[in-house]
Amino acid sequence: MRNKRRTNKAEKRNYIIQAIRLLLIISVLVNFVFIVLHLFNDNLVTKEEIVTEVSKRIELVFLALVTLILTFLPDYIEKYQNIHIPNVLETVIVVFIFAGIFFSARFELYYSVFWWDDVLHALSGFIIGFIGFIAIYKINGKYSMNISPLLVAVFSFTFAITIGVFWEIFEFVLDVFFETTLQSWDLPETEILMGASYQGSGLRDTMSDLIVNSMGALLTSFICYFLYKKEKKKTLQMMREIFPDEAKASD
């Protein structure tokens, strides 16, 4: 029965991931067709309009290809690092990559939906918190897993927060050297953001990202605390299945 449930979850994961990859491939092909059509368009539109449209299509092709490549990252980790990522977590990671990169750019969700960026940052804190939770076994599995549930929760929380901070530093560096607007420093004062208008849109955007990231990480830390406290045996069994090499070394 347990193996049947695992098989069903694996099949659902494969369907979802393959569907996402198929959509990305179709998007690449469709945008290539549009690029060719615009390049050989008649004189009904101006040259500037053609350049703008072609540039937009090229950007979408690039983002689709980047997203497509990143969807294979879990497969690479499983094959070459001998890490068996849980089906649900792998599905969530791939969907998050798709939503955060290509889907957001294709429908301009960062600009049209004011809460979209916050949802993604909260979800990233949630996901990375679980990755930190799983990493505890990778770090300590060869020794003793007699760890306080509170310590497990704190590590999960701080792991997600640290990654979130490094991401904001990365955005800041890109904005400084490449004049991008990843930290939304050019938004008008009327934009819906946390904080007061006099604080500047860049600071407000960065702080809102960190706050919602912390909220997602905090939720994960609570879940990890109760999982390790109430279901420690099942949790350790799951971790052994994820990291079989560490499980063998600890036997």
Q: How remote is the C-alpha of 173 from its chain's centroid?
A: 20
* pLDDT on residue 2: 58
Question: How does the average pLDDT of the chain come out, rounded?
Answer: 88
Q: Measure the CA–CA gap between 140 and 191, rounded to whole angstroms.
A: 46
Tokens encoding 211: 């706050």
> What value does the CA radius of gyration of the chain take, rounded to a whole number of Å?
22
Residue 150, helix vs strand vs coil: helix
Contacts of 149 (CB under 8 A, 6+ apart): 224, 225, 226, 228, 229, 232
Model confidence at 114, pLDDT cuts 50, 70, 90, reads: confident
pLDDT at 250: 58
pLDDT computed for residue 244 by the predictor = 82
As a whole number of angstroms, the distance between CA 206 and CA 165 comes to 9
Q: What is the mean pLDDT of residues 49-71?
A: 91
pLDDT at 145: 75
In the chain, DSSP assigns E strands to none
Residue 184 has pLDDT above 80, yes or no: no
pLDDT digits (tens, 9 = 90+) for 203-227: 888 899 999 999 999 999 999 999 9
Neighbouring residues of 147: CB distance < 8 A, sequence distance ≥ 6: 136, 140, 228
